[in-house]
């Protein structure tokens, strides 16, 4: 039995693991690296394994850094299925089509540059047709807590990870020539006390753990403090006549922030709020998918939705799917909260809103999620005073807020609790920056701890 790590080099994220057991080869996640040119090169590089020899794929959740390279598997010879939960299948389809669309646009932009020789321009990593072909191969029959025989010698059980709608940790049971091993993949772990999602369910004890480490070196502030911070920042900005831009991830974070804004509005905390725009076709689609998968939600929210209440409804709210509707947002110079993607500002409609609102000291940008190194979001958070957006120099004069408590990721304490429960003899730390892994490793009780390099293979 072997486990290989193909998305674990402690700098760029993009999850991808491979298990080999009893002649079967199973890939767990196949994500896009995110953040900077290095990530782009990584995404374009050949896969380190032959997709034609893969028997099945397990997908933990629909974030692009976990599913974004799946269409490449099919382009390069994979013909099997992608096993995941029903909510993940729906969300991942939206994510992959969006990703293909962005890549086709990028390729066109590149081809139009002066000096680019026709026929030698960069091709899109994959096209809309490739993404659609991939989405047709989702097998959405994974049910939380129910074991599934994936292939001879490989059984998998999905457990609620509480990270985004449909997300899962995986408990994989392997058997080869009478020898048995169990492996728990954390996937991305969520945290307790989230307003919409059911909390994470810990898998049973396993021989081997593969643990994410996004916040391995940090504790989150209590969520209540973060909500207060959000209300203060929004109210103060509206009071001084500015707009609030919230770069937000389309899956989960956008819905949570809308839900908190709705609460704040009802409690009279957001005086002066006239308009809320959800300016992201992907976030709009995700919000619709939420309402269809009440099985993943907190019971109280599920009851509300079943009773016909829309938990995201706000006075003055507009979902701007069409580009023409999005442009109308430019008319509003105050009293407006704009939620737009991408969360790390490495593309998407948020760039237009940053270009317009960053130079205005009365405005605010509120970051409510993780920003990888090398992204525009990270540079703004790190305090640069000028940034380059859409070929234009933009001064950063708006108030910049970073509220970490909304994270969809478990913090150090929650990662340790997961690890204590799984109690593995061998732990692989993945999906985090070097500092986070180094901080977490000495706190893990018992067993051997490895921080695999890109492409490293281990016998288990
Ligand atoms: Zn994730």
pTM greater than 0.95: no
- C-alpha distances (whole Å) from 246 to each of 149, 278, 368 are 43, 10, 7
Tokens of 180: 């048995």
Per-residue confidence at 194, pLDDT binned at 50, 70, 90?
Answer: confident
What is the CB neighbour count within 10 angstroms for residue 439?
17
How far apart (Å, rounded) are the C-alpha atoms in residues 20 and 3?
Answer: 6
* 415 C-alpha to ligand 1 centroid (Å): 14
What percentage of residues in the chain have a pLDDT greater than 90? Answer: 76
* 163 C-alpha to ligand 1 centroid (Å): 7
With a cut of 70, say whether residue 120 has pLDDT above it: no
What is the CB neighbour count within 10 angstroms for residue 204?
12
Per-residue DSSP letter, 195: S
413-424 tens-digit pLDDT: 999 999 999 999
Pairing of strands 138-142, 82-85: parallel
What does the pLDDT read at residue 141?
97
- Which value, in Å, is the radius of gyration of the alpha carbons in the chain? 22
How far apart (Å, rounded) are the C-alpha atoms in residues 282 and 388?
Answer: 25
What does the pLDDT read at residue 43?
84
Lowest mean pLDDT among 127-131, 293-297, 439-443: 293-297
* 76 C-alpha to ligand 1 centroid (Å): 25
Per-residue confidence at 10, pLDDT binned at 50, 70, 90?
Answer: low
How far apart (Å, rounded) are the C-alpha atoms in residues 206 and 60?
Answer: 18
* 325 C-alpha to ligand 1 centroid (Å): 29
* 63 C-alpha to ligand 1 centroid (Å): 5
Three-state secondary structure string covering 2-58:
EEEECCCCCCCECCEEEEEECCEEEEEEECCCECHHHHHHHHHCCCCCCHHHCCEEE
Domains of the chain: 2-218+408-459 (3.60.15.10), 223-406 (3.40.50.10890)
With a cut of 70, say whether residue 34 has pLDDT above it: yes
Q: Which of 449, 448, 424 is nearest to 438 (CA)?
A: 449
306-315 tens-digit pLDDT: 999 888 888 7
* 432 C-alpha to ligand 1 centroid (Å): 12
- C-alpha distances (whole Å) from 258 to each of 3, 171, 232, 246, 339 are 40, 33, 16, 11, 9
Question: Which helix H or strand E contains 159, and what residues bound it?
Answer: strand 154-160
Lowest mean pLDDT among 30-34, 51-55, 83-87, 265-269: 30-34
What does the pLDDT read at residue 346?
85
168-190 tens-digit pLDDT: 999 999 999 999 999 999 999 99
Q: What is the mean pLDDT of residues 222-235?
A: 94
Pairing of strands 24-30, 386-389: unpaired
């Amino acid at each position: 039995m072997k486990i290989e790590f193909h998305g674990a080099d402690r700098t760029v994220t993009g999850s991808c693991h491979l298990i080999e057991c009893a002649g079967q080869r199973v890939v767990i996640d196949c994500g896009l690296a995110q953040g900077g040119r290095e990530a782009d090169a990584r995404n374009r590089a050949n896969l380190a394994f032959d997709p034609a020899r893969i028997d099945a794929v397990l997908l933990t959740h629909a974030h692009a850094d976990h599913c974004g390279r799946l269409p490449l598997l099919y382009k390069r010879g994979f013909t099997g299925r992608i096993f995941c939960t029903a909510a993940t299948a729906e969300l991942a389809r939206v994510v992959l089509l969006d990703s293909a669309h962005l890549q086709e646009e990028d390729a066109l932009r590149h081809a139009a540059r002066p000096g680019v020789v026709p026929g030698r321009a960069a091709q899109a990593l994959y096209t809309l047709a490739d993404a659609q072909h991939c989405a047709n191969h989702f097998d959405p029959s994974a049910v939380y807590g129910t074991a599934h025989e994936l292939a001879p010698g490989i059984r998998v059980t999905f457990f609620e990870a509480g990270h985004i709608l449909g997300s899962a940790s995986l408990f994989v049971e392997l058997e080869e020539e009478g020898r048995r091993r169990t492996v728990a993949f954390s996937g991305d772990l969520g945290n307790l006390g989230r307003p919409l999602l059911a909390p994470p369910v810990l898998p049973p004890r396993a021989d081997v753990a593969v643990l994410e480490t996004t916040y391995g070196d940090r504790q989150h502030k209590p969520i209540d403090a973060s909500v207060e911070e959000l209300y203060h920042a929004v109210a103060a900005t509206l009071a001084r006549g500015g707009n609030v831009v919230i770069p937000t991830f389309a899956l989960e974070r956008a819905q949570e922030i809308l839900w908190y804004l709705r609460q704040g509005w009802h409690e009279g905390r957001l005086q002066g709020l006239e308009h809320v725009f959800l300016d992201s076709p992907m976030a709009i689609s995700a919000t619709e998918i939420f309402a269809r998968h009440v099985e993943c939600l907190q019971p109280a929210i599920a009851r509300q939705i079943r009773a016909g209440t829309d938990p995201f409804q706000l006075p003055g709210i507009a979902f701007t799917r069409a580009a023409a509707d999005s442009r109308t947002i430019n008319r509003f110079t105050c009293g407006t909260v704009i939620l737009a993607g991408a969360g790390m500002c490495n593309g998407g409609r948020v760039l237009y809103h940053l270009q317009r609102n960053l130079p205005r000291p009365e405005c605010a940008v509120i970051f409510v999620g993780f920003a990888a190194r090398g992204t525009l979001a990270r540079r703004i958070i790190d305090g640069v005073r000028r940034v380059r957006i859409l070929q234009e120099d933009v001064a950063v004069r708006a108030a910049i807020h970073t509220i970490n408590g909304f994270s969809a990721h478990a913090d150090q304490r929650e990662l340790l609790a997961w690890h204590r429960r799984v109690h593995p003899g061998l732990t692989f730390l993945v999906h985090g920056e070097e500092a986070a892994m180094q901080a977490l490793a000495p706190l893990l009780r018992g067993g051997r701890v490895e921080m695999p390099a890109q492409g490293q293979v281990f016998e288990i």
